[in-house]
Amino acid sequence: MLARRPVRTIMIILISSILLLLAGLAVWTRLKAREIEARHPPTGEMIDVGGYRLHAVHVPRPEGADLPPLVFIHGASGNLLDQEVPFRPKLEGRAEMLFIDRPGHGWSERGDAANNTPDGQAAAIARAMQAKGISSAIIIGHSFGGAIAASFALAHPQMTEGLVFLAPATHSWPGGIAWYYGLTRTPLIGPLFANTLALPAGLTRLESGSACVFAPNPKPVDYVDKTAPALVLRPQAFRNNAIDVANLKPYVTRVAPRYTEIKSPTVIVTGDSDSVVLAHIHSEGLARDIDGAELVWIRNLGHKPDHVTTDLAVRAIEKVAGIDVDLKVAAATAEASLATDNAVCPG
């Protein structure tokens, strides 16, 4: 009996220490999340889409616009700045634009369980467009945003003037997802992880992780400051992102066979050195499934054609809009600019 007391005492001390550590991490996470929010405040407006609000930057249609309205959908772990930063300077004065924080990302509210899959998020984006008086648009989707763009075209063909996919994630793939996505989406352990360990661990990987997404192309020095990926490390946003990613594979497995129904003009821009999504599955799959789609392969391009080959992406938008554009020439120009890129993922 006496021998058990030291063991029991040690266990009590150990458990108490763990609980104190977790409580400390939770407080630190809350304070750090507020600091991140203060550094990256909302820059647009909140649009009511039926019981919850999406944060969006709306650029009104300019006089003399030569392009239809453009709607930009960001990928996983991102927010609207990831598309606004590269595209707005290139396209301002040419089109009405809507840059949207997807439900539960950036400064947008999550809404209900329908937004746990791309079709629900596509419906929310459609309502945001209608709220701003946009009856139809070219939909531009990067990475995870590609699955939403495809879902948008399926559900709202009359609102889809065209599609531009940039390194899209749209089809089922071999293997699974990173362990922390599966952990974070679980009911009990997930919130605990998101509120204690995810943010401090994520901050240590923010620069290197972003560099890996860009590789073999160099990450812009100011990318993290300008596009605010740290916003996804806030506990609820982190959980929303994990749910999105964990649900993507079963969703596209079910929906991808319907891509043959898409009739909108389509261009797909992808790189042969993308280490995030398997271009030969997703991009080639879209080109196979969507009748008339044009696939533009770029040698030595990673997962960020939106930032690395923005001019080519603009040419793709022009092509979808009906402007006479030779994308082969544009692709050759892009490839020439990337020929010597050899940035390495920090690991």
Q: Which residues contact 183 (CB under 8 A, 6 or more apart)?
A: 189, 190, 193, 242
- Quickly state the pLDDT bin for 7 (edges 50, 70, 90): confident
Place of tokens 């396209």: 91
Token code pair at residue 121: 């998020």
Token code pair at residue 135: 């009856």
Beta bridge partners of 295: 268
Cα distance between residue 103 and residue 90, in whole Å = 26
Contact 135, 159 (CB under 8 A): yes
Continuous segment of H or E residues that includes residue 280: helix 279-289
CATH of domain 45-173+247-338: 3.40.50.1820
Query: Global pTM?
Result: 0.95
Other beta carbons within 10 angstroms of residue 338's beta carbon come to 18
Continuous segment of H or E residues that includes residue 137: strand 137-142
Amino acid in position 201 = A
Cα distance between residue 85 and residue 70, in whole Å = 15
Q: What is the pLDDT of residues 41-83, one digit of tens each?
A: 999 999 999 999 999 999 999 999 999 999 999 999 999 999 9
CA distance to 148, 209, 315, per residue, from 309 (Å): 22, 20, 10
Cα distance between residue 239 and residue 230, in whole Å = 14
- Output the pLDDT for position 4: 56
Mean pLDDT value of segment 116-122? 98
Q: What is the pLDDT of residues 190-245, one digit of tens each?
A: 999 999 999 999 999 999 999 999 999 999 999 999 999 999 999 999 999 999 99
DSSP character string of 219-241: PPTTHHHHH-GGGGGSHHHHHHH
- Quickly state the pLDDT bin for 15 (edges 50, 70, 90): confident
Cα distance between residue 265 and residue 200, in whole Å = 43
- Torsion 120-121-123-124 (CA) sign: positive
Domain positions in the chain are 45-173+247-338
Q: What is the pLDDT of residues 281-315, one digit of tens each?
A: 999 999 999 999 999 999 999 999 999 999 999 99
- Output the pLDDT for position 121: 98
